[in-house]
Amino acid sequence: MRALVQRVRYARVRVDGVVVGEVGTGLLVLVGFAPTDTPELLRWMAHKLVHLRVFPDEAGRMNRSVQDIQGGLLIVSQFTLYGDVRRGFRPSFTGAAPPERAQWLYEEFLRICREHPLPVASGIFGAMMEVELLNDGPVTLWIEREATE
């Protein structure tokens, strides 16, 4: 599983010009899934995101989580995080979970994230989406973990 996480002042996702998900201060999380990802891995990632200390405390140090600041998560499925461009110029996506499996993983990940006491918004799996955000910092992190760890 791979996640590109951005601390945002706001983020929203549109499909066909209509806002389908948005958050104020919080995290925009672009997620990609591998065929071997498991529910245990999804739980690990959700826990990591909710407790990731990337928001400033009174001293300006990154010491607070999205949960601490009562922020939100906007989670957008993005299989292109598994794009491999080591050879040639066209990305290969053979490392990404097939669509049916990825959709199940995405929906399960959303369900797990929503078990936490904070707003969780999402995009629409498989849709052509426009993502708008105001990156705060900027703070951008890459989180990756394989199911075998």
pLDDT tens per residue, range 48-74: 999 999 999 999 999 999 999 999 999
Residue 149: what pLDDT? 54
Residue 56 CA to residue 109 CA, distance in Å, equals 27
Domain ranges of the chain: 2-144
List pLDDT tens digits, range 113-149: 999 999 999 999 999 999 999 999 999 999 999 876 5
Q: Tokens standing for 67?
A: 């949960």
Give catalytic residue positions: 78-80
**Average pLDDT along the chain:** 96
Regarding pTM above 0.85, the answer is: yes
Which residues have CB under 8 Å from 86's CB, separation 6+?
A: none
Superfamily of domain 2-144: D-tyrosyl-tRNA(Tyr) deacylase (3.50.80.10)
Q: Tokens standing for 37?
A: 């990802």
Residue 127: what pLDDT? 96
pLDDT band at residue 90, thresholds of 50, 70 and 90? Answer: very high
Q: Taking 70 as the threshold, does the pLDDT of residue 21 lie above it? A: yes
